[in-house]
Structure 1
Amino acid sequence: MSENVSPVNSSPVDEAITLHKFGGSSLADPACYQRVAGLLMQHGHPHDLVVVSAAGKTTNQLLALIEMAQQGIDFSHALNQLRQFQRQLVEELLCDPQEVLSLLDNELEALGNWLCYETVDHYTANSIVACGEVWSSRLLAAVLSEKGRKSCAIDARQFLVAQGDVSPVVDEALSRQQFTELCQNKRTSQRVITGFICRNEANQTLTLGRNGSDYSATLIAKLAGASTVNIWTDVAGVYSADPNLINEAALIEQLSLAEAEELARLGNPVLHHRTLQPLAQDNIALRVRSSFTPDAAFTEIGRRLGHVGDCIVNGAKDIALYTFENTVANQELVVGLEENGFFPLVITKKDQQLAVVLRSEVCSRFEEFLDSNNAENFAKDEQCGVISLLDAGVSWYRKLFAKIFAKESDWPVVLSDNGLSLSVIVPEKRVNILAYLLHQKIYSSPKRIGVALMGAGNIGQQWLNLFAEQQEKLENSFNLSLPLVAVGRSKGALVDFSGIKIDEWQQAFETCEPVASTDIVVKLASHPFDDLIVLDVSADQGLTDLYPELLNAGCHLISANKLAGSAPLSFYKDIKQLAYSNNCKWLYNASVGAGLPILYSINDLKRSGDKVEAISGVFSGTLSWLFENYDNSQPFSQLLLKALELGITEPDPRDDLSGKDKQRKLLILARESGFELELEDIAIESMVPAQLRDIPLDEFLARASQMDELMSSQYEAAAQNGEVVRYVAQFDDSGDEFKASVGLQTLPREHALAALTPSDNVFLVQSQWYQDNPLIIRGPGAGREVTAAAIESDLYNLIKELL
C-alpha cells in the first residue's frame, strides 16, 4: 500500500456519510488540488461525497468569454488563456494526463463553437459556465485515483432536476430517485460531483445562482442522507467581522441555523440563504472549514440553540437601495417581496419614503418585477452600503448601535423581525471604517453583567431604591455595564435585555406581556451578557425549585430566600455542586441576619483554619422586642397585639412564634459551618399552643390570651432564680453528642443573650479559637433597609469575584 493511500479502504454503505465541498479558491492551482486530495485521504472516507466549484477564477473567465462573444469582441486570446490554464493544471497534477487532456480539448473546441453562434442564448451560456465544474470534478477524481483511492466524476445534471430559470427550484423526490439509481454501483468510489449546475426536464442546463456550489452541497447531502457537510474554503469559518479587514476578528465556532440564515440574508460572503434551506428540516450539521488549515478550529452550524455574546459585524457593499413613495400599493408590494423570491437586507421607512435594500445580483430581476407590478416613482442608489450586527441578544446593543450611526445615516436603525440583527444604511465608502469602529466598540467594551430581580415586594422595592443610587457608582468603580434586565412578580416577569429604567419598571410591567414563571429560565438563559446575576428576594418555593435550571443556564444566584439553604440536604448539596460544576456563584448572606455579617464571619473562620463548634442566638428581631419588653406587668397577648399594631411582627404573628423561621436559619448556619443536617434534626418548641396553630388568624388573635398563663409562669420561674426567658436557637458540637434545638430557655442575666436590644438579632459563635470568649455579632437582623443592604453587599462581592 502506498504511504499516501488512506488507511480506510472501504466502509459499509450504511455508515454515516460526510459531504465535502471545495470552492474555487481551494482549487486555484496544482498545489491546492494536491492539498485537497491529501485532505480527503486524511479527513474523509471513500464512501463520502465531494462537491466542487470551478478552479480559481474559471467561472469569471467563462462569463467574460460569453460577454465578449455577445458584444462581438474577438475572444480567441482569452480562450487560449483559459485553455493554457486548464491544460497546465492537468499536466502538472497527473502522471498520465492524456485521457483527461483529450476530453478537455474536445470540450474547449465545443465551447469555442458555442461562442461563435450569432447569439449565445440563456441555456447555451449556462452550458458554457458549467464547463468549469465539469473540469474540476473530473480532474480531482483523476488525482485521487492516481493516489490509490477509487474515484469517479459525476455531472450533477445526471440527477439534479429543477424548474425555473432565474432561481431554479429542485424537484427533490425525482432528484433523490435518480441520484440513488446513478450511485447504485458507485458507493465504494469517491464520488466527485459538480456543484452549481443542474438541468430542467428538457435537459437544458440551469445554474443555481450565487454560491450555487454551496447550495448544491447541502442539497445533495439531503438527497443522500448525509449527516455532515464540510464546506472547505480559504477561511476557517464565520468570523466576528471580515478577517481580511479587521485583524482582531475572532472565529465564531458555533452558530444556530437561525443565526446563520440571518447572516446569509444580510449578505455575508461565507454563507448564502439557499445554502441553508436544505438544512431546515434535516438534522445535518454544516461546518465551514479552511482547506489550508484543516486541523484548525472551524464554524459549525445547526446543532444548538441560539448563542449570545458572539456578535458578528457584517458590512455589505455590493447592494442597491430602492426608494418608493410610502403609498398603500407600495407597502403591499414590499410586504410580498419574499414570496416572490427577493430577500431584502433592509426594509425601512422615514417621512413619506419606503426603502428596500437588495444585493446587486438580483437588481435586474427586481426591476423586471417592479415593471410587471406597475411600480412608479422609485429611485435607485448604488452608492450605499449596509452595516449589520448579529447576535441572539442583539437588542441589548440598540443604544450603542444607534449612537455610533446617529451622524452616519439618514435612515433609522432597523431591528430584524426575528430579533437577531440590527442594520443601518450608510454611504458605501464608509462601510469598512464603520464596521471596524463597531467591532472595536463591541469587543473592547467593558464587561457586561445583567441583574435580574425576582421578588418585587417590600424588600425588593427597597433594594431597587438602593440599586438606583449605587448602579452608576458600581459601573464606574468596576468599569462595567450593570443593567437591571428583569423584575419578577407573582404574575410573571418583565424582561428587557436592553435595560429597565428603575423608576419606570412598574409602568413598563403593566404595559408588557409578562414572561410566565415556567418560561423564565429559558428567557434568562438567552441573555447577551458576560454574566447574569439573579436575585431571589421572594419566599417562593417555585423559584427555589428553579435554582438547578438557573445554575445549569450559567446564572449566578444571590438569595435572601431561606428555602434553598434549608431545603432537604440532597437538594442543598445538588445546588452547591451545580454552582461549582457550572462555574457559578451562589451567595445567600441575606438569608440569615439580614445585613449582619454572620455567614461572612463563619466562612472567614473556616478559611483561617478554625472550626466552628457551636452557634447560639436570638434570631428574631420580633422576639427580641417582645422579651425585652415583657415584664409580666401586662399579659403577653396584649404585648403581642401591640407589636402587631406597630408592624414589628409578621402579618400572622404565629410565623414569629412558631420557631420555624429560626429553625431554618439555624440549619443554614450549621450547614455553612460544615455540618450535614436535615431540618428534622433540629428540635423545635413552638410558643403557640397546639390548639391555636391551625385556626384562622382572626380567631387566633381573639384567643391569644391562652398563651398568657404559660408565658407568665415561665417568667416568674426564671425571675425567682435571677434569670430571664429567651427564645434561643442553638447547635453545639463541643461535647460528646451533637445537639441542635430551637425553643424557650432561661438564662442568667449576665449571659450575652440576656441583654437584648429591641428588634436586634444576637449571634454567639464558639470555635476552637473562640471558646471561653465567644465571637458576638449583634444588630438589626430584619427590616427592609438592612436586608436590601445585605443583598447589595452580596452583589458587590459577587461582581468583584467575576472581574
Structure 2
Amino acid sequence: MKVLKFGGSSVANSENIKQVLSIVAKTSKEHKIAVVVSAFGKTTNNLIEGANTALVDIKVAKEILETIKNLHFQVIDDLVKTHKNEVIQEVTSILHRLNSIYEGIFLLQELSDKTLAKVCSFGERLSSYIIANAAKENLDATHKESRELIITNDDFLNAQVNFKITNKNITSFFDENTHQITLLGGFISSNIDGKTTTLGRGGSDFTAAIYAAALQADELQIWTDVSGMYTANPRVVKQAYAIPEISYEEAMELSHFGAKVLYPPTIQPALRKEIPIRIKNTFEPENAGTLISKNPKNGNEVKGISHIEDISLITLEGGGMIGIPGFSKRLFETLSMAKINVVFITQASSEHSICVGVYENDAKKAQHLLDETFSIEIDRKKIKPIIVENDLAIIAVVGESMKNYQGLSGQMFSALGRNNVNVRAIAQGSSEKNISAVINKYDAKKALNTLHEQFFEEKTKQLNLFVTGVGNVGERFLAQLQQQKKFLKENLKLKIRVIGISNSRKMVFDNDGINLKNWKEALENGEPTTLEKFHKKVKESNHINSVFIDNTANQAVSEVYEKYLRDSISVVTCNKIACASNFDNYKTLKHVSRKYNASFLFETNVGAGLPIIDTLKNLINSGDRVHKIQAVLSGSLNFVFNNFDEDSTFHDVVAQAQAEGYTEPDPKIDLSGVDVARKILILARESGYKMELEDIVNNAFLPKESLQTTTNEDFYASLVKHENHFQEIYNEANNKNCRLKYVAEFVNGKANVGLQHIPAEHPFYNLEGSDNIVLFFTDRYPENPLIIKGAGAGADVTASGIFADVIRIANK
C-alpha cells in the first residue's frame, strides 16, 4: 500500500490533473494506493476571501464564487466524460450550499471559526470528488470523504486528531474497500458530532501522513512542484540541489526553518511508524526526489541550509536576573498564554539575559505583555525594559552527522564573517543536529549562498564582479574573463560572474551574470548612472564574494573605495590616485580593508601586469627592509624615448604612444612625471615609509608652457612649438653615448623622478619598447638588487594584472 498526496500546484488546472492521473495510473499497476488531494489552485484562498467579503458585500462574494465555479466546471468539462451530468449535478448542489453559507454570513454579519472551517472544506470536497470521477474514466477508482474518517476535537480551524477513532475508521474502511485507487480530500475532518473541522496549516500533508500511518503504508509520497528537499531554497541559491536521502529528524529541522516542501507535523505520524516519505515532483516524475527515512545512506555531514525571515528578537536582560529562579518560566508562560510561538531560544551562561525569536507580527504584542509581566522588576531597575529588534532572519545549518565532525561551527561563522554577515544571536541544541543564527533579514540571501558555497561547493568558488570603466583596459579585462571562463572552472574551480558594468554614462546589472559576449549592447541599453547609484546598486545586490573593479584613472571613482570596503566588498584597481593621495587616506583604506575583511589590491598601480607590489609585500612580510629603489616605471615614457630620435618629432612619438594605449587618456600626466611620482610614492609607502606626493622631487623636462595647458589639443600644439627643446635633450644624451630614461629613485626615505642619461653599462640602457624595470636594494639584496623587468604598459598587460588580483582574492 502506498499513499500519494498531490498539492495545490499539482491540481491547479486540467493539464496538471492529467499529469497527476498519469502518475496515479502508473503507481496503481504495482500497488494499491490512497490518493490525497488539495484544493484546486488558489481555491482555498478564494473561499476565505469570499467569506470575508460576504460580511460587507454579498454581490462581490458571489462574483468570487463564480470564479471558483468556472474553474471546477472547466475541469469537469475537460476530464469527465462518462458521468459528466451526474458530476455536474453534484458539484452544482455543493456550490449551492456554499452560496447559502455566504448569504448566511451576510445576513447574520458573523463569521465564526465553525463557519469558516466549513467554507474552507469546500475546496478539497470538490477537488477529490471531481478527480475521483476523472480517474474512473480509465482506472479502478473510488471516492471517500475524509470528513467521515478523520475525527478531531472542536478546534475548528486547527483541529487535533483523535487517532484512536480515526485509525479505526481508516482501517475498517480500507479493509472493506476493494478498489485499487481511493481518492480522498486533504485538510478536512470532522468532530465527534459530525461538524466540519480543518487540520490547519499543512493539513493536506498531515492528512496523507495520517492515512499512511493508519494503513502501515510501504511509502508516503508527497508530490509537489519541486524535485525533493533541497540543500537550500533553489529560488535563492541557484546552485542548490535535491538531497537524495535524509532522516526524519533532519527533515523536521529543515521544515521548521523554512523548507516549505514539508510541514513539520506531517512527519510525526509517519515517524512514529517509521514509514518512508518520498518528496517527488509532479512535473518531473522521473526525478528520484528526496527519501526521508529512519536510516538514510550517509551523505554530506551538513544536509541542508534553511532560513526563516520576518523574525524579531526579544531580549530580557538585567543584573537582577542572576541567581533568581522563575524568570524563564514567567517569560515563556506569558508568551504561551498569548499563543505567541517561540522559534528561537538562547540564554547567556551568566543568567544575565534571555533572547527569544518570535515572528515579527507577534513582536509588538509580546513586548507589551512582557513589559507588563516584568513591570515591577523594570520599575525597580532590576531588569531593563524589554528590547525588541526587528527585520531579522534565522539561518540554520542542519545535519544529523554534524556532531561527528569538528570545526563545523567555526566554518559556518568564519564564512559569514568573511562576507560581513553580522550574527546577532546563536543557538545550538545538545543533539548538534542544528546550528542556528539570527542575522539581518537583508543579509539572508547572501548568508544562504555563503554557507551553501562553504558546505556544498567547496570545489568551486564563486566571485561576483562589479566593473566600472570599460575603455581599453576594461574591455580587454572583460575579454580575458570570457576567454578564460572554462579554464578557470576546470582548473582553478573558480566561477567568476560579472554582475554589474558601468561607464561614465550608463550602467547595467544582471544578478545571474552579464553575458560577456554582448555586454556592450546590454550596457548601451542600460540605465543612466552615477557613482552613488552604482554603489547603491552593488550594495543592494548583496552578493557573496563581491569585488569592485576600477579600470579608470578618475579621481572621483577612487574616492568611493572606502564605501565599498566598509561594505565588505573587495576593491581591485589600476587607478593610482587613491594610493597616491594623502597618506592618511592611504592608511585608512588599508585599515578599513583589514577591519571589514575586504581585499584592497592595486598591483597594476606600478608596472601594469608585473608582480612588483606583490614581490615587495612578500619581502616586507618576511622581515626584509628596503633601503633603495631605482626604477623605470613609465612604460609610456620609455616607449617615447626609445622611439624618439633626430628623424622623428616628439609630437608624433607621443601621439603614437597614446594611440597604442601606452599613456593615460591625458598624456600630460605621464610626460609631466606625475604618474611616475605616484608610482614611486606607492612603492615607498608599501616599503613602510610615510611620504606624501609633494615630498617627491620632480625634475620635469617639459617646457613650462606645456605643463600649463588644460586640454590635449593645446598640449600637443605646445609639443610642436617646442620641438627644438626636445631635439636638444635628445642630442645632449646622444653626444654622450647615453640613452634617455625617465628614472624614479627612492633612497633612505627620499625620492625623486626625472630624465637621466643612462650609459651603456647600466641595467636600464637596453630597456626596450614600453618595458619597466625595478631594482630593489634591501637587507637581503644589498649589492646585487632584486630585479623585476618586463612590459609595463598597454591595455592587455594591465588587464592581465587586474585579472591576477581577482585570482588572488579568489585564492584568499
TM-score, normalized by length of structure 2?
0.49
Name the TM-score, length of structure 1 as normaliser: 0.50
